[in-house]
Chains A and B, each alone.
Chain A
Amino acid sequence: MGEDGESPKINHSFLRDYVTEADVISTVEFNQTGDLLATGDKGGRVVIFQRETESKDESEELGESGEYNVYSTFQSHEPDFDYLKSLEIEEKINKIRWLPQQNAAHFLLSTNDKTIKLWKVSERDKRPEGYNLKDEEGRIKDISTVTSLRVPVLKPTDLMVEVRPRRIFANGHTYHVNSISVNSDGETYLSADDLRINMWHLDITDRSFNIVDIKPANMEDLTEVITAAEFHPQHCHLFVYSSSKGTLRLCDMRESALCDKHSKIFEEPEDPGNRSFFSEIISSVSDVKFSHSGRYLLTRDYLTVKVWDLNMEKGPVETYQVHEYLRSKLCSLYENDCIFDKFECVWNSTDSVIMTGAYNSFFRMFDRETGRGVTLEAWRESSKPRAVLRTRRIYTGGRRRRGDVGVDSLDFTKKILHMAWHPAENIIAIAATNNLYIFQDRVNAENL
């Protein structure tokens, strides 16, 4: 690689726009304290960020927070091959879920289409020194040179983060795994694919328990698939799963071993006025999340986010339009496959605000108390570090203001699919293709 003289002549500008497919972020998740943020990408890698704790003094103000820096990076999944079916298995990380912390180490589950892995993330900042039989480099000493005995001592060393796979939960799924969810009991978790949901024990890898199976006896009768599943945050016997038909099913594992029969089914009758070729596609639920309180469910379908009360099955209690202006463009969105995009949705820590992604690097936040929504943009060019994020508007008619974006100029390749909200503070992590944006809300900071 010696032609340094020529490299300045090479125009690298095109490289900046080229995004390696493997770098596209496919999942984002905070841990339970919010100090760690994990991202998974299409190349099977996991990057963990840690929040820097600023030195605390007595005059520390509320909302003062540190930045997130890379803590560890590791290759979680490799491309695999199913020899029986001659199918390639993508290494893309579909979901990451953190386990509640029980000791100094952190544990997370990461999954691709077929295999779930439990990773242990631990720090090592001390190492033993002063061995009798080994020298400092680890070479065995000549015994004749050892004249005295000493006890090895632990000396501080540079921080090392070790990540090791502790469990590999393989061969549990025939179809593509779309969700994992850790149970509040701290011992089990569920994994859901298109047709089945399995329950695993965190310590047992060679067995899992099938709790939902919607595969019809005759695959030609297939009408719906499972799109997402989650355990209730407090009740370890309850979980919910969403389907491609737009229904949510709440299941109680105390009722029966196989929860094919739901305890509650949440569905909204279709509006006949909006019927089109694509009605079924846009009603498919792409994500479902319990509220922190456990009382509500948040679902995302193609055009809306809905809040459901667990006590009311006949329809959502709140519906928010994310990008209703796309309803007239469904045919083109079908052609370019955008209609199949699976957007995630998240609650804030107090369940008062919900957030979801959209196109053109936009994401939307809805305040449940006022019912109002704002559009924000995650785009490097328009936001500098520490700048205040300004709201954006889509021009759909009426008076056009400066800065409004027309519907036809939306960039559908820039989609915000994955996001996470800090469990306690107003800090959000937004994944935009291969970039991760972290926004903090400083409204509560006294220094503002």
Chain B
Amino acid sequence: MEYKVEAHRIMSISLGKIYNSRVQRGGIKLHKNLLVSLVLRSARQVYLSDYYSGACLNAQSEREGNEWDITDSEREKFPPSATECDRVESTEETQPNEQPEKEREYRENDDEVKSDQVDCTSTLQEQNQNSSLDSVAKVSSETPPESITEPKESPSDSAVAERDSTPEANGESHQPPKTHVCSNRKRSAEESESGDSPQKRTKVASSNAKEDEEAEEMDTSNVSNLITIFGSSFSGLLSKESAKPEAEAEDSGQICCDQMLKNLNPWSTAIVAF
């Protein structure tokens, strides 16, 4: 649908504006950034609402022709974006570690798409066990297969290590227990969110994903650039705004769709919260 593309474009523009506001003279203008974040939120809702209506129908394997088209086109965009779950960067700014955070570093990589999708699913399950998520993301490039040790090496601390043990204890150790932050970065969150649902579908019909990967890369290269830009700048943004904690508590005892939506909400409000 055209307005999904439109919503996507508006989201990109909004993120660019938020980034640019950091370098403007006179400090960050609260009013303008509040309005931009509202637009971002509206665009995201439009972007996702159709997606979920499509996803639910697919899950029931009852599809109308339109839905399929949507999901196909979205699968073009989402699977690689699923790899862009960004790692929260400035962990020192997050709430004290009563909120354990899951971190995952993805790289947009064809080879990893599949495994990432799998990882996303597993981490989704991990999220369900979590009691909180944190925001602030940063794209970095580490290959997921090595991420078994990633969390332990990550700057964030023992809480993450505990994280790792939990999924293993839950019998998911057959997969690399990749902790995964559905970051409150809007873009990455929605990508991952959208990525998660299509994960379930792509598992059923995974061949499509590979065909569309090239198209995806074109489409999401801008996204990853934005995330890179935004990720590095947002941490600086946070450091300037002392009173606005980025960390937000999320209840993870929800079904994945709702959880994704919830993850997105705090993130978008986080943008406002400077």
A residues lining the B interface (CB < 8 Å): 82, 85-90, 92, 113, 175-176, 178, 194-195, 218-225, 227, 244, 277-281, 284, 331, 334-335, 337, 340
Apart from the given pairs A85-B240, A113-B27, 10 other A-B contacts in the complex at a CB distance below 8 Å = A87-B27, A88-B25, A88-B27, A89-B27, A90-B26, A219-B274, A227-B31, A244-B31, A281-B38, A340-B32
B273 at the interface (CB under 8 A from A): yes
Which residue of the partner chain B has the closest CB to A279? B42
Residue of A nearest to B266 (CB): A220
B13 touches A334 (CB 8 A): yes
A222 touches B42 (CB 8 A): no
Instruction: Tell me which of B25, B46, B240, B272 contacts A90 (CB under 8 A).
Output: B25
Closest to B45 in A: A277
Given known contacts A219-B243, A219-B273, A220-B248, A281 and B35 CB-to-CB distance under 8 angstroms: yes
User: Any chain A CB within 8 A of the CB of B244?
Assistant: yes
Please name the 10 residue pairs, one residue from A and one from B, whose CB atoms are nearest each other, closest first: A90-B26, A219-B273, A87-B27, A220-B269, A220-B273, A194-B30, A280-B38, A219-B244, A281-B35, A277-B42
Interface residues on chain B, size class: 20 to 34
B261 at the interface (CB under 8 A from A): no
Q: A225, B31: Cβ atoms under 8 Å?
A: yes
Is the CB–CB distance between A113 and B39 below 8 Å? no
How many pairs, one residue from A and one from B, have CB atoms within 8 Å of each other in the complex?
Answer: 81
Q: Which residue of B lies closest to A194 (CB)?
A: B30
User: Closest A-chain residue to B267, C-beta based?
Assistant: A220
Q: Which of B1-39 contact A (CB under 8 A)?
A: 6-7, 10, 13, 17, 25-27, 29-32, 34-35, 38-39
Closest to B242 in A: A85
Interface of B is mostly: helix
Report A-chain residues with C-beta under 8 Å of the C-beta of B17. 337
> How far is it, in angstroms, between the C-alpha of A284 and the C-alpha of B31 when the chains are bound?
10
Indicate whether A284 sits within 8 Å of B35 (C-beta atoms), given known contacts A176-B27, A219-B272, A277-B10.
yes
Nearest opposing residue in chain A for B271, CB measure: A220
Q: Which residues of A contact B272 (CB under 8 A)?
A: 219-220, 222
B261 to chain A, nearest CB (A): 16
Say if the beta carbon of B223 comes within 8 Å of chain A: no
Pick from A113, A222, A331, A335: contact of B26, CB below 8 A.
A113
Cβ distance B262 to chain A, nearest Cβ, rounded Å? 13
